Structure formats: structure tokens, C-alpha cells
Chains A and B, each alone.
Chain A
Amino acid sequence: MARMALEGVRILDFTWVVAGPVATRILADQGAEVIKIERGDENTMSVLGPRRTGLQGELHRNKRSAAINMTKPRGLELARRLAAMSDLVMDNFSARVMRMWGMDYASLANIKPDIISISMSGLGHTGPRCNYVSYGPTLHGLAGFTRMMADSRGEPAGYGYSYADMAGGYSGALAALIALWHRKRTGRGQFVDLSQFEALASLAGPALLDISVNGRTQEPPGWRSQEALAAPHGAYRGHPRGDDDDRWIVIAVRSQAEWERFSRAIGNPPWVTDPKFRTLYLRMRNREQLDAHVARWAATVDADAAMTLLQRAGVAAGVALNGADLAADPHLAERGFFAPVKLPDNSSTRLTGVPMRLSATPGSVRTVAPEVGEDNDYILGELLGLGRAERAELVAEGAVWG
């Protein structure tokens, strides 16, 4: 059995920004050899931070990078030769880009008949809007997510982050694995047309069935439960920690047994026996008054202490952790979630780790993100067998950035 699950799988990676690199990062973490093809003349993504740390460091770790100019015929030729040695080719361009380069599935299948090509475009390769330009946050807007994340006044209030990029990235990684499985069983490759818009829409979930089946106009759910009913249920401001008053405890009390444990844990204040809070139905109906009581209690307690107190009583509760809290979280530390890495200048940092633990073939953070073109020697020399003179010629021609 292999040491890593995807040992021996090679991916030619044209993806950029976030969604595509999330997909290939997940595969790289499990041992796939991911070869990024990038422009060496401008690093358009430098606005998202330096390459080896933070988000960029997380997106591109465990990968290799070649700076190949796809607008030059000999650059294209190099990419085609690499495709012929690869199991998968992945991109997140709109349909016309790979076609223009002669790197679309039909062309790739001529070079390597069992190739798997996964294109993770914004809105898909077909349809009247296939050439729309989009980013994760704009897809939230189109898919209804932004509108459904409103505050108590009904104003859109989200997102601080881009879940669309994750929906696209996860489905891209899963599609790659399913296509590899299919190829192993049948010997056949295929093309996967992944629309990030559709990947996101498919996670709107039961709300879409409520529209199509019941014809109900959706309202932003706020803290109304999107799963089993719960009351109290919300984020309650905890006691300030030093001068930080942005401390919040999330509590979800679902069953009657949980309500009784919750009441006991907070010391059975008189209001918990108020008849208007007796059953879940009544607590849901009178939730504003209930929330006011819980908020008054929470304000007297440190959020971390509240979590420990409630969890010991078997009540679902958790602190709204910020970046510093996550970095210091004792449970994540105990599980070794964040991965320490050493940078070439001998400084060190940490990266978000691998969120799935396979007992026999664990994934890992093995190498830090390469600078653009850092692996030209390996990719052009070792993989393609080009000599020093030939590579110098390619650089001189502008087909490769050296």
C-alpha cells in the first residue's frame, strides 16, 4: 500500500485565485504531485499577501511551480508535453481560455487518451452566461447567499469570507478523485465541467426545495435554526476580557433534557421556571424575552468559562473564536491541527493543517509554497529532460521566465 493516498498521481494545475488552488491543495496534501503553470511576469495575486505565508502559503503548499508563458508557441508545447505525463489537468478559467491554447479536453485527449480534465469555471462551459466573469463573493450575490445573510434589520451583513471558493474547491477535489476512481475501473478519462455557481447553489440546500415544493418566499433565517429547533439559540455577548468586549458565546438548546441541564448549569435563576419557557414550543414563541434573560446571564461570565460550564452539563455551546483564539486553542493544539513550517530564510510560521486524518496514509504539509517558477529546474530539467542550453534558449525566447 502506498505511503500517501495519491502517491503517483500527477496534476497539471492552471488554477489561480482561490477556488481552483483549494481543490489542488487538497489533492497535494494527500500526496499528488501538483505542477502549477504560472506567469512569471506579474504576480497578480500578490494583493492577497506574500506567497509562502498566510492564505497564499496555505493555497500553494505541497505544490511545484513552473513559470511558462502560454502565449508563446514553445511555452504551449512545454505545457502539452507536461499534460501527456499527467493524470489530470485542472483549470478555473472560462471556457475560451483552454480552447484558445489548444488545452481543452478534446485536444488533451489526443495527446493522452485517458486524461481527466476538470474545468472549474465561474458559471460553466455552456449556456448563455458561460463567459460571465465572477469571483466567490459575486457568486454569493447571484446564488442568493448574500441576500439570505441579513442582520436583524434585514440589511445584507455577510460575508466576511468567500464560501463560494470553498464550495468550488471541495467539489473540484471530489470530482478529481471520483474521476480517478472511474478511470481505474474502466481505463477511461473524461471531462468535468464544474460551474462554481452550481456548486454553491447546490449547498443552499433545503431552502431551494421549500421554494420549488411549497412556493415559499425565503426570509433570511438569522438565528432561527436551520436544522432542529432550538431555544435559547444565539450568540450572546460574554463578559469583557480585559478591554476586549467582543467576546461571544454561542448556545443551542434543543431538547427538553438540554433545557433542564442548561437551567441547572446556570444556577436555576427564577426566570427558568417561568411558565412561558416551559416547553420548546413556548420558548420558541417567547424567544425574545428568553434571549434577553440569557444575554444578561452571559454578560456576567467569561465566554470561555461559559463554554466549559455548559459543555460539562452536556449543552452545545462554543466561543466565537477569532484568529488569535484559534492559534491558542488547546484542543486544536492537542490534535496538532495547525502545521508549523520552516521558511527558506529560517524563520517559521504556521499554516492551517489537513482537516482529515487517514489512519494508514495520513496527509501532511511537506513543503512550503514555491515562489513562481521555483521548480523550473525540476519540471523542465528532470521531468521534460531539457538540457541547460535548451532551457536558456527558452528563456531567451520568452517561452519560460527564468
Chain B
Amino acid sequence: MNERGALAGLRVLDLTDLKGHLCARLLADMGADVIKVEPPGGDSARRVGPFVDDRPHRNRSLFFWFYNLNKRSLTLDLGHPQGAAILRRLAEGADVVVESFKPGEMARMGLGWDVLHALNPALVLCSIAPFGQSGQYSGYEADDSVLTAMSGMLYVNGFPDAAPVRPLGLQAYHSASYYGAIATMCALLARDSSDEGQGEGQWIDLSMQEATASAVEHVAANYFGTGEIERRRGTLHWSRFFRVARCRDGYVMHCTLGDWTSLLEWVNGDGKARNLTTDLTAPEWEDVAKRRADAEHLFDVLDEWVKDYSRDELLERAQLLRLPYASVRDPEALFDDEQLLARGYFHEVEHPELGRTFRYPGAPYLFTGSPWRVTRRPPLVGEHSGEILGGELGMSAQELAALAAEGVI
């Protein structure tokens, strides 16, 4: 086991706002040294709740914590010429810069691709913007909800005759951040692909609209494939094999992919929906295409059957029969989930500044040779400015004091 992590030795400068925070965190979790460059006073995400004990404070934002675990913090006013100059010095020794400024803003601050590339030809610059670096919408404003609209994601969520329902969990930001990390790793692998040593870095133009459009399986795909405009269908999944049903103590997720015979025997054996199930015994229902075509009827019948079950009862019995049913659980249930607990999914992270330890959600994957790790809690504002500027760039206490007086750090 390589305890330092797969990306140990990589230096990443994270200039993003909340749109791109996850991107650099994905690299930090695997061992990269990520410096979160924040404006003096702190990143805007520090003002986003929820907060620890509901007490708003820039060092207590759980929103900031989630996206900035394992990073160090340097405060720097990039709009100030001296701040930009310090960033250029840091970029000389970095492998990656990730940013999410408005297109053109980096160049205006003297940090454009041409400048950074000339300073450090091996540097990879990953630019994440709502609509990319070029094109007629490139100057447009967006938050996550606007991006889910402009990607086709929002239109297909919710009930047919009602307003679209907003997707949970900042899926536009997350999709873009994942693609940003993937693109960055591709660029690093390309850079170091030759045996003669380091090649050149490159500039990644990542459009959040495009990343999010790619995260919807069927909207553009089915339009191009069949000409069909996909619409909202409530909880009926577009594939027509899944739908939510009400049961005794909540909701469950039906799934009509899987062993039809087992499902049918179970339903018939219960006798709970006898009148309704007689028509399901016709052999035509064994054909998965029939189950897809008449999904609404099929789920109406199955809804009658599940309504007396509890969520857990149904889940356990279905899984014994290898039927991919699921209970529709509250997110709180994750913390008691025996599978997650057995796999050590949650991590206790100490926050010495508060004298407390908090339970964080863990890794999307378990690497057996180079671990995903929590190496440091999310940083306080500017916590590492001294060690980075003084220790690593060799600036004197006098210089630092002058910069602080100017409001640069």
C-alpha cells in the first residue's frame, strides 16, 4: 500500500468558486497537494449554509467543509497586481490550476493561458465555466438550477401537468467537477506519456452545460435516435422499468427487470392482489418488451400488491429472490446502513479549533494500493498562507506584513 496516495507529489492550485470546488477535492482525496486560493475574507461558499449548530461563521459552513476537505487555504486578492504576481510564482511550481472565473477574467488579471503556459509549459489549466470559454452564451450567468434547465435535465423531472421539480444535490456542479478532474488527469497522463520526461501541459475548456447534458441519459439521445421529445413522467423512469409505489410505511422502488417468474410467483403467492394479477400470468408478460410497453398498467397492479408491505420487509425478501427492488429511504438512513458501516464508509474528522470530531461521508471508491484518505480537515480562512508564502516561496515577515496591509493577503 502506497500510503501517500496515488497523486502524491502533484501540486494543484484551486481558484474555483463553489461551481468547481468538488473538482480539486477529488484530486486532494487521492493525495494531491491542493491549495485553495481564496479572496481575503474567504471564499463565497463559506457564506453558504448549513452551519455548525446553525451559527453562521466563515469557518463553520458545512457547505464549504464538504467541498474543501483535504485542501490547504491561502488568501490572495487575485484582482490586485501583487496578488496575481504571487499566483504566477506559485503556478511556476504547480502541475495544475483549476479555475471557474467568467471567461476572460483570468486573462484580465494577468493569469491567462498564454501567460501561465509561458511561465510553466508543463502546467495544466482546467477552466470550468457555465457555458464554456467560447460561443454566444459564454458570458451568461448561471447557478446550478439554470444549468440543469439548459442541459435538458430539469425538463424531464416531475409530473406531466406540473412545474418541473428541481434535481437534488447540485448535479450540474458535480457533473462538471467530475469531468474537470477526469480531463485534468487525461492532460497529466498525456503530458507525461513520452519516456523522455515531461511534455507540455494544455488548456481544458469545460462547459458545465455540456457536462450536465452528458449526464442525462435519454433527452438528447432519444431525440436524435427516434425523434421523440422526452417529457416528465413522475417517478416512472424513462426506461419504463422503474416506478415509485406507496407501501405501508413509506415508499418503495419497483423494478420489472430481473427474474419475472420469481416476481410473479411471489405476487401470486401472497394473494393480496388476486383479482388484479390474473392478467399478469399471461405468457406475454414474460417478454421484457411487453413489460416496457404496458408499464403503467403493470405498475398499477404491482402498486396494489406492495401497499401492505413495509419498506424493509419488501427490500429483504426481494433481494433474497434476486429482484432489484429497493426501499425509498430517507437520507438519514445512510448513517445506520449496515453495508456502509461494514465498509467503513464514514470517516471521523477531528476539528481541533472546535474541540470536536465530526462524521464525514467517505470515498466514491476504495483503492487497495493507494488509499483515498482524509489527511486534513477543511481549512480555516487563510490557515496556510504563512507556510505557503513564507515557507515555500521564501517571503519575509516584512513582505507578508506589507501585503497584508495592502489587503492582498
Q: Does A14 contact B (CB under 8 A)?
A: no
Q: How far is the CA of A18 from the CA of B221 in the complex (A)?
A: 13
Q: How far is the CA of A297 from the CA of B312 in the complex (A)?
A: 47
- In the complex, the answer to whether A218 meets B178 with C-beta atoms within 8 Å is no
| Chain B positions 152 through 189: 1 when the CB is less than 8 Å from some CB of chain A, otherwise 0 | 11111111001111111111011100111111011111
- In the complex, the answer to whether B331 meets A143 with C-beta atoms within 8 Å is yes
Given contacts A5-B186, A208-B66, A350-B224, 12 further A-B contacts (CB under 8 A): A57-B221, A134-B326, A141-B327, A177-B185, A182-B369, A192-B366, A206-B66, A207-B169, A223-B145, A248-B154, A311-B141, A325-B152
- In the complex, the answer to whether B331 meets A357 with C-beta atoms within 8 Å is no
Q: How far is the CA of A128 from the CA of B316 in the complex (A)?
A: 12
Q: Which A residues touch B216, using CB under 8 A? A: 161
Which residues of chain A from 190 to 221 have a CB within 8 Å of any chain B CB?
190-195, 197-199, 201-214, 216-218, 220-221
Q: Does B361 contact A (CB under 8 A)?
A: yes
B174 to chain A, nearest CB (A): 5
Q: Which B residues touch A373, using CB under 8 A? A: none
- In the complex, the answer to whether A54 meets B224 with C-beta atoms within 8 Å is yes
- In the complex, the answer to whether B229 meets A141 with C-beta atoms within 8 Å is no
Q: How far is the CA of A180 from the CA of B380 in the complex (A)?
A: 33
| Chain A positions 280 through 314: 1 when the CB is less than 8 Å from some CB of chain B, otherwise 0 | 00000000000000000000000000000001001
Q: Does A349 contact B (CB under 8 A)?
A: yes
Comparing A72-80, A331-339, A377-385, the segment that makes contact with chain B is A331-339
A352 to chain B, nearest CB (A): 5
Q: Does A60 contact B (CB under 8 A)?
A: no
Q: Which B residues touch A227, using CB under 8 A? A: 18, 48, 63, 143-144, 170, 173
| Chain B positions 185 through 202: 1 when the CB is less than 8 Å from some CB of chain A, otherwise 0 | 111111111100001101
Q: How big is the B interface, by class?
A: 35 or more
- B165 partner, pick from A53, A157, A338, beta carbons under 8 A: A157
- In the complex, the answer to whether A5 meets B339 with C-beta atoms within 8 Å is no
B391 to chain A, nearest CB (A): 25
- Indicate whether A198 sits within 8 Å of B364 (C-beta atoms), given known contacts A138-B326, A207-B169: yes
- In the complex, the answer to whether B190 meets A360 with C-beta atoms within 8 Å is yes
Q: Which A residues touch B164, using CB under 8 A? A: 235, 248, 320
Q: Does A99 contact B (CB under 8 A)?
A: no
- In the complex, the answer to whether A209 meets B185 with C-beta atoms within 8 Å is no
Q: How far is the CA of A48 from the CA of B200 in the complex (A)?
A: 41
Name 11 A/B residue pairs within 8 A (Cβ), A-sorted. Answer: A123-B339, A132-B339, A146-B253, A161-B238, A166-B215, A205-B66, A322-B223, A331-B136, A332-B209, A356-B206, A361-B190
